[in-house]
Structure 1
Amino acid sequence: MPLRNDRDVDGETEAGPQGGVQSVDRALAVLEILARDGDAGVSSIALEMNIHKSTASRLLASLVNRELVHQDSERGKYRLGFGILRLASSIPGRLSLVREARPVLEGLAEKFKETVNLAVLRSDYAVNLDQAMGPSTLATYDWVGSLTPLHATSSGKVLLATLPPDERERLLTETGLPARTPRTITDRAELERQLIKVARDGYGIVKEEFEIGSNAVAVPIVSHLDLVIAAISISGPAFRFDPEAMPELVEELRQAGRRISTRMGHADA
């Protein structure tokens, strides 16, 4: 298929009235690609969007200037920037959630010496709003702002398990169950069985399903309306972190989820 030029279907250039709308649409498409893939280069973005490489470069440069996109200085690829979080934080509910959860996250990270994350459901992904790292944590990756697949993460499974069946059906049909590792659950029936267990037990576990060498466990955070609004997780290296063998950690995490829920107004937390 030949590449389109910089004119839209009405023949307007990007500088014209229709072109302005087209540029916004294309910029949003770039953000969606980066949210889905984690990072991408100019060429791959241009190819997927069926636009010239120069057009993709201009779009990325504009997004970088707004801090919505960040370019890796070593690899040259682009990923979502902290400007995305700045926009998300303008939503009062999420601002309150991060503020109320922060001391609990820090306490868990200090006690268990592992990485603790706070995630919410956004655009069919689990997006990490905040993170606390223990003093001896081996991992150094900052997950704040990262969009992760629901079916392959502990927070994602907790968020999925509480969705109405029709909404979960729509979401999983649209996103599919792509394999992140050889251990990722890609069978729909098996995933549904796991989600039933998550809903019953009140926590979700993944073992090297998102990343080889990394395990995690998550619990829900409930609002004053008795709705699950977020999940809090603890993750660590698989060689030392096995949530199924650490019932005291799981119980501590559940208590932490209840404390944050209480801070968010949940009367029965």
Structure 2
Amino acid sequence: MKKSMAGPVDGAGSVGPAPQYPIESVDNALKILLLLGERDDLRLTEVAEYLGVASSTAHRLLAMLLYRGFIRQDARSKAYLPGTALTAVAFSILQRFDVRDTMRPFLLRANEALAETVHMGMLEGTTVRFVDAIESPRAVRVASRLGQSMPAHCTSTGKAMLAQLPDEELRRLYPHERLEGLTPNSLRTRSELEHAIEGIRLRGYAVGDEESEEGVASVAVAFPARRLPVQIAFNVAVPVGRMDRAGERRMGELLAQLVTEASELLH
């Protein structure tokens, strides 16, 4: 649900006792980060209205968060987005909660059942970062993408997670019709992405056909949105010559089963 922007929000996100000597500027900066957790981008006027401060004060707070890398500013729209420092904190928290350790046995099961390279990806705005991987034991295989980041709309992993988002949130992430691609098969428009997402929601899994890398096909299933501080998905990547419709369905069904089982551990 979209949060009302009418006036300041005293106590927003508070879970502990009020400090004896509160520092208003620190509190306002933290409120901005909490608001960014609910939205995909922020505007200066929205932040000023939300905090109940002058635009000049809101601008100084945003400038400090920008300086420390907690937010970044889109060059075209001038909107403020999550920065690398903020996503790094989220990733660090994810590691400390041992989510990768918890998910590793399920990746191993997928790898053993399919004998193909498997990944776990994390959504960061319009980018997917691959945070875990197990390579296929076969001589001809897709190489691990561990640590790599790619445009979400160019990967089955990213599309699977984007399909979990409400349509209005998807439109905020992709405000423009034109999309940049990685290969000739990449989706190039938001309309194509929205059409692909409709199919993903019906099937329950996403597919990639040489959209992120020529010669690579893939299948991915995302975890239910909002279950974790960040969104994650499982992926199977195979040489395109080893992918057919029957194999695609089998991979999708297996990943969906593993995601369902793994989700039970995240309650």
The question of a shared fold, defined as TM-score above 0.5 by the shorter chain, is answered with yes
- The separation in 2 between residues aligned to 1:166 and 1:125, in whole angstroms, is 18
Q: How does 1:21-60 map to 2 (within 5 A)?
A: none
1:160/1:168 contact within 8 Å kept = yes
Any idea what the Cα deviations from partners look like across 1:184-218, whole Å, max 9, x if unmatched? 11132222111011112211001011111000000
Question: Which sections of structure 2, spanning at least 5 residues, go unmatched?
Answer: 1-62, 73-85
What residue number does 1:165 align with? 167
Q: Deviations over 1:229-262 (max 9, x none)?
A: 3110101100112355442222111111111111
1:107 maps to which residue? Answer: 109
Q: Deviations over 1:20-64 (max 9, x none)?
A: xx9x97996xxx9xxxxxxxxxxxxxxxxxxxxxxxxxxxxxxxx
Counting only pairs closer than 5 Å after superposition, residues 252-263 of structure 1 correspond to structure 2 as 252-263=254-265
Write the letter of the residue equivalent to 2:166: P
* Separation (CA, whole Å) in 1 of partners of 2:96 and 2:173: 22
Task: Tell me which residue corresponds to 2:186.
Answer: 184
Match for residue 208 of structure 1 among 207, 210, 213 = 210
Partner residue of 1:71? none
Match of 1:98 in 2: 100
8 Å Cα contact 2:122/2:129 also seen in 1? yes
Counterpart code for 1:105: L
- What residue is the counterpart of 1:130 in the other structure? 132
The 3 A distance-change label for structure 1 pair 152 and 214 is same
For the structure 1 residues 86 and 196, does the alpha-carbon distance in structure 2 shift closer, same or farther, using more than 3 Å as the test?
closer
Q: Is the 8 A contact 2:234 2:259 kept in 1?
A: yes
Q: Give me the TM-score of the superposition, normalised by structure 2.
A: 0.62
Q: Which amino acid aligns with 1:160?
A: L
Q: Which residue of 1 aligns with 2:222?
A: 220
User: CA, structure 1 residues 254+137, in 2 after alignment: closer, same or farther (shift >3 Å)?
Assistant: farther
Describe the SS at the equivalent of 2:159.
Answer: helix
Q: Classify 1:89/1:185 alpha carbon distance in 2 versus 1 (closer, same or farther; 3 Å).
A: closer
CA contact (8 A) 1:152 1:210 kept: yes
CA deviations on 1:135-181 (whole Å, 9 max, x unpaired) are: 11634633122111111100110111111222211212379521211
Q: Which residue of 2 aligns with 1:45?
A: none
TM-score, normalised via structure 1 length: 0.61
Q: Indicate which of 155, 177, 182 corresponds to 1:153.
A: 155
Does the Cα contact within 8 Å between 2:208 and 2:217 map onto a contact in 1?
A: yes
Q: Which runs of 5+ in 1 are unaligned?
A: 1-21, 33-83
Kept in 2, the 8 Å contact 1:117–1:130? The answer is yes
Q: How many residues align?
A: 194
